[in-house]
């Protein structure tokens, strides 16, 4: 699908939280990446496997197959709608999106929306996921003929390369009530004076982040306005320190976006006063690895010319596949991870560190 909705499902986390982002992003071209292209290919393979078509050959078939197996398990013999465009324009004008998998279970009275996330970055949860909820509203709009006795919706997020599955249930009545809230946010987003509301989730992939005055003000207020004792963190109050930590990721991402914006201007010849691009540090490498290997063997002998190491567990799993990898699973140990500072809302259990730990 080449067309793109202004109030899209995939961008709902942004325009619902920050209505002003819709107008701010107008005219800024979409950015692509190898990760995005890989995700698009993975969805194409999954679609082919679920619909009986010939799937493109890829070297990451195993995680896609895990998603396909999950979809078939959830559908449980009911009709399956794959890569289906749904229209939720009654709630968001001209709004539409493409759901990865939809199945309706009339016996249990459930609509299932299943979304494949192929990335290996952050985990995505189904709970109150606006993309999935908009898809569900689209099903209520488009599949009215098949919804007799349907009372609830199950949203499924499947991230096979993270071994992560998240499921959340919402009643149809509560979904419709949320839809009324979406109507208000959509109307605001399409207005001329829509507010800009910075935040971690809505700013993460916003194309207008680098030049956003609301985000710049948040950074200024957080770093300068509230911290008279910034040069000495010990003199700051707990509330000031908490505010700084809560906004760290957002502030750092803003700096990254500004650097990317200025770099692009210098690359395309627009220029930016006060800065220039220079050649960064580069590491030496062999011009011809095979020729270098032969010469090093002649000079040092084969034992010294080459290094040999055992595959890491991650590389071994990729090479062996899950079935054969099970044969070496008992040889793996997982040492404790480095303590990481997170908000109390994080679902991971807290760890305790005492003076005895430093003995």
What's the confidence (pLDDT) of residue 355? 53
Q: Are residues 179 and 259 in the same domain?
A: no
Name the domain count of the chain: 3
Q: Is residue 62 part of a domain?
A: yes
Q: Are residues 183 and 296 in the same domain?
A: no
Say yes or no to pLDDT of 129 above 90: yes
Q: Are residues 262 and 294 in the same domain?
A: no
What's the confidence (pLDDT) of residue 287? 92
Q: Please, what's the b/e burial string for 297-313 (b: 16 or more CB within 10 A of its CB; e: otherwise)? A: eeeeeeeeeeeeeeeee
Q: Are residues 32 and 59 in the same domain?
A: yes
Q: Are residues 248 and 297 in the same domain?
A: no
Q: Is residue 197 part of a domain?
A: no
Q: Are residues 51 and 137 in the same domain?
A: yes
Q: Is residue 283 part of a domain?
A: no
Q: What band does 87 get if pLDDT is binned at 50, 70 and 90?
A: very high
Q: Is residue 357 part of a domain?
A: no
Q: What band does 1 get if pLDDT is binned at 50, 70 and 90?
A: very low
What's the confidence (pLDDT) of residue 205? 87
What's the confidence (pLDDT) of residue 350? 84
Please give the share of the chain, as a percent, with pLDDT higher than 70. Answer: 93
Q: Is residue 310 part of a domain?
A: yes
Q: Are residues 235 and 294 in the same domain?
A: no
d(CA 20, CA 196): 5
- Mean pLDDT, range 86-109, rounded to an integer: 96
CB of 133 within 8 A of CB of 155?
yes
Q: Are residues 234 and 323 in the same domain?
A: no
- Which structural domain, as residue segments, surrounds residue 64? 12-189
Q: Is residue 165 part of a domain?
A: yes
Q: Are residues 20 and 92 in the same domain?
A: yes
Q: Are residues 38 and 85 in the same domain?
A: yes
User: What pTM does this model have?
Assistant: 0.74
Determine which helix (DSSP H) or strand (DSSP E) holds 174, and give its type and residue range. helix 172-189
Residue where a domain terminates, one of 189, 217, 248: 189
Chain-wide mean pLDDT for the chain? 89
Q: Are residues 23 and 149 in the same domain?
A: yes
Q: Is residue 181 part of a domain?
A: yes
Q: What band does 359 get if pLDDT is binned at 50, 70 and 90?
A: low
Residue that wins the pLDDT comparison between 172 and 355: 172
**DSSP assignment of 209-224:** GGG-HHHHHHHHIIII
Say yes or no to pLDDT of 140 above 80: yes
What's the confidence (pLDDT) of residue 322? 82
Taking only the tens place, the pLDDT of each residue in 39-80 is 999 999 999 999 999 888 888 899 999 999 999 999 998 999
User: Which residue, 184, 163, 175, 170, is CA-closest to 138?
Assistant: 175
């Amino acid at each position: 699908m080449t067309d793109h909705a202004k109030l899209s499902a995939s961008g709902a986390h942004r325009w619902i939280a920050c209505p002003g982002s819709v107008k701010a992003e107008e005219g800024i071209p979409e950015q692509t990446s190898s990760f995005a292209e890989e995700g698009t290919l993975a969805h194409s393979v999954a679609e082919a496997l679920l619909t009986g078509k010939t799937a493109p050959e890829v070297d990451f078939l195993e995680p896609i197959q895990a998603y396909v197996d999950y979809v078939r398990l959830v559908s449980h013999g009911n009709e399956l709608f794959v890569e289906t465009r749904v229209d939720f324009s009654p709630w968001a004008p001209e709004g539409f999106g493409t759901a990865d998998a939809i199945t309706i279970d009339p016996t249990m009275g459930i609509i299932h929306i299943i979304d494949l996330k192929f990335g290996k970055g952050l985990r995505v949860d189904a709970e109150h996921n606006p993309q999935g909820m908009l898809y569900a509203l689209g099903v209520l709009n488009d599949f009215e003929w098949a919804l007799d006795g349907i009372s609830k919706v199950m949203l499924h997020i499947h991230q096979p390369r993270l071994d992560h599955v998240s499921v959340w249930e919402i009643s149809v009545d509560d979904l419709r009530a949320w839809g009324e809230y979406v109507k208000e946010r959509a109307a605001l987003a399409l207005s001329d004076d829509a507010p800009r509301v910075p935040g971690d989730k809505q700013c993460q992939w916003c194309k207008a982040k680098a030049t956003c005055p609301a985000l710049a003000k948040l950074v200024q207020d957080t770093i300068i306005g509230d911290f008279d004792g910034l040069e000495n963190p010990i003199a700051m109050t707990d509330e000031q320190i908490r505010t700084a930590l809560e906004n760290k990721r957002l502030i750092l991402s803003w700096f990254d976006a500004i650097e990317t914006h200025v770099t692009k201007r210098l690359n395309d010849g627009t220029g930016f006063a006060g800065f220039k691009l220079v050649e960064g540090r580069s590491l030496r490498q062999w011009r011809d690895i095979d020729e270098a290997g032969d010469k090093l063997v002649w000079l040092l002998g084969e034992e010294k010319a080459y290094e040999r190491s055992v595959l890491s567990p991650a590389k071994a799993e990729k090479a062996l596949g899950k079935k054969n990898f099970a044969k070496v699973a008992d040889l793996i140990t997982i040492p404790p991870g480095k303590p990481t500072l997170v908000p109390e809302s994080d679902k991971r259990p807290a760890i305790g560190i005492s003076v005895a730990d430093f003995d």
